Amino acid sequence: MPRVLLVEDEPAIADTLVYALETECFDVVHALTGTDALAAAGREAFDFAILDIGLPDMTGLDVCRRLRETSPIPILFLTARDGEVDRILGLELGGDDYVTKPFSPREIVARVRAVLRRSQTRAPLPQASENPQVLHHDPAAMRVHCHGEPLDLTAHEYKLLLVLLGKPGRVFTRDQLLENAWQDPGAVTDRTIDAHVKSIRAKLRAVRVGAEDLIQTRRGLGYLLSL
């Protein structure tokens, strides 16, 4: 039974969605605020998150950013205005889909199932013992292992590597990496990314020569993780 974290501060909308999802055999945990949602995510694992953009204590985008620091969980945004859609897509926080209010609860269920199907068809990351060129993320310990060895990463190196690890093969621009791995991306420059990538590569190479090639540079575009 897939577990869904629903973050919605309007009780009427939340009750309707909880009923629709539970009717379709989803296990739903409902949070009214971003703070409660992050606390729930810290206590237990979820297979999917539905985030309302307009929450009383923080935005759904903020919740997404925090969830993305430790998990590649699929995320669907609920947005009240069409104008917010551009903002969501522009930030490239890692959301998988969005729905504009008002919406049909059946549509939400269908979209959740579709996103879960897509995420489940992606090739799972093999364990380090099975593939010498793999990175393994331990979300409970907030550690990334290379060839079974834990990497001694700084907080920003860890967050940056998680962004790349969440979607192997995808090219991320420096701006996108800054937006995902820094709480205040405007306080640093895109060259900060280059310095952190260089440091991560050095730590990968320290584990095994050649592992640094897992992070590839696309000149003029950005970086990608090749597994």
Q: What are the sequence ranges of the domains in the chain? A: 3-121, 135-225
Distance of CA 159 to the CA centre of its chain: 10
Terminal Cα-to-Cα distance of the chain (whole angstroms)? 30
C-alpha 165/C-alpha 158 separation (Å) is: 10
Q: How confident is the model at residue 121 (pLDDT cuts 50, 70, 90)?
A: low
Smallest CA-to-CA distance from 63 within 102, 93, 29, 103 is with 93
* Topology at the third CATH level for domain 135-225: Arc Repressor Mutant, subunit A (1.10.10)
SS3 of residue 89 by DSSP: helix
pLDDT digits 0-9 by tens, 84-100? 554 555 345 667 778 88
Domains 3-121 and 135-225 fall in the same CATH topology: no
- Asked whether the beta carbons of 1 and 22 are under 8 A apart, the reply is no
Smallest CA-to-CA distance from 215 within 149, 156, 169 is with 169
Cα–Cα distances (Å) from 144 to 141, 181, 187, 207, in that order, read 9, 15, 26, 12
pTM greater than the 0.85 cutoff: no
Arithmetic mean of pLDDT, 61-74: 83
Specify whether domain 3-121 bears CATH 3.40.50.2300: yes
